[in-house]
A and B are shown apart, each in its own frame.
Chain A
Amino acid sequence: MSDDLLQGHLQELRRGTVVLACLCRLRHPDYGYALLESLEASGIHVDANTLYPLLRRLEKQGLLTSEWNTAESRPRKFYRTSPAGDDLAATLTADWDRLTTSLHRLAEGDRS
């Protein structure tokens, strides 16, 4: 399989997981770049120019709330998962688990 094709399929598979990761991670409020680095540390790579607009969209959808922290030298926008975001995260996680189970079953069925 060519590298481009592989990257395309991986990207397709991972699409949407960043949303779920953000909703879970932001149960503890944080600002964009700290979130990006902690996701990176957990093995979820996302570019800054993707993550920042995504956070703003999720806020617009009512899944995140935000607050500017001006106490420090640099103003930073802190995001936190809203109750609606929490609900969505629970639903998405359940679906993710269901898919994982199904895929494992399919993979094992192949072997037998």
Chain B
Amino acid sequence: MTSLTDRYIWAAVRTVPEAQRSGLEPEIREMIEESIDVRLAAGDDPASAERATLTGLGDPERLAADYVDRPLVLVGPRYYLEWLRLLKTIAFISVPIAAAAVFVVQLFTTGSVGGAIGSAAATAISVTVHVGFWTTLLFVILERTGSTEAGMEWTVDRLPELPDGSRDGRRSELVASLVFLAVFAGLILWQQVRPAVRAEDGSGIPLLDPALWTSWLPWFLGLIVAEAFFATWIFRRGWSWSAAAVNLVLGVAFTVPALQLWAAGDLLNPAFLDATGWDPGVATEGWTVSTIVTASVLVLAVWDVADGFLKAGRASGAASPRRVLADH
């Protein structure tokens, strides 16, 4: 009896439950010794016969796992799809919510956009890691306890709906867009024509700087008209990658100058601020109205652009199953 064989047997049996070790040990020893005998009979010297036999048997832990039917996968084919679905579902829900919440809270408490983006990214990573770890752990336990698959079997009720690319599905989207744009344009005109705030002589004081009527306000009103045409185009043609790109251009054309004007303090009418005694730059409880507006506009703009690309992606994916179905 030499030490290599003993070490091999120990390496194998220590990985199985205590109760099964005593039964396993003589079986593996018999197998090894018989194999060595065959090699010795063929003329090998004892040392190389032992070494060749153990090499041929391979990883002792794998051998022991074979003996006691221990699974050698973290999550096997039985649960893999359920694991992947659950992981995706939880990650897609919890990561954006957590990141957005941290972003907003950080922005309001520190007022730093960069810091808020950093915190949101760190939160997104840590939530992703947690979701990945705990979900996987659940399935690793399921895989090993061999629980029944109650509630996990696939049924036809779980088939996804074919994507609704029809015009009817887009009508409500069109109506919502047009109503929103009309209200928005109406508010811009209304604050000039019938201002809510009056000066002492009874004349109205518009909210927006009247100087903008010869510069940026026509640009924004023009963009609103363009958005209305764009919404109609989407209603007629549906979302596509080029539509998402146009949506991006429109979004940038609106958001960038609006935020620049807002940041420079050129958007609001100085007379309006004087009359109301309101200063959006003054901080209350650590954050300012100015930051809130900037953050909200940014979030809405990014969401709108992302939504466009999501819908374009969904629409391009929707085209293929219909084509596939039509071919058959």
Contacts and interface: CB of A to CB of B under 8 A. Distances in A.
A and B part of one assembly: yes
Interface of A: 31-33, 37, 47-50, 52-53, 56-57, 68, 74-77
B279 interface: no
Interface in B64-83: 66-67, 69
28 contacts: A31-B34, A32-B30, A33-B30, A33-B31, A33-B34, A33-B35, A33-B38, A37-B38, A47-B56, A48-B31, A48-B34, A48-B35, A48-B56, A49-B57, A49-B63, A49-B66, A50-B66, A52-B27, A52-B28, A52-B67, A56-B27, A56-B67, A57-B69, A68-B26, A74-B30, A76-B30, A77-B27, A77-B30
6 nearest A-B residue pairs (beta carbon): A33-B34, A53-B66, A53-B67, A49-B57, A52-B31, A49-B63
B58 interface: yes
Contacts of B66: 49-50, 53
Contact-residue size bin, chain B (C-beta under 8 Å from the other chain): 10 to 19
Interface of B: 26-28, 30-31, 33-35, 38, 56-58, 63, 66-67, 69
Contacts of B69: 57
Contacts of A75: 26, 30
A74 B56 contact: no
Main secondary structure of the interface of B (DSSP, over half): helix
Nearest to A37: B38
Contacts of B30: 31-33, 74-77
Contacts of A68: 26
Most buried by B among A48, A75, A76, A77: A48
Contacts of A37: 38
Given A53-B67, A56-B27, A74 B33 contact: yes
B62 to A, nearest CB: 8
Contacts of B57: 48-49
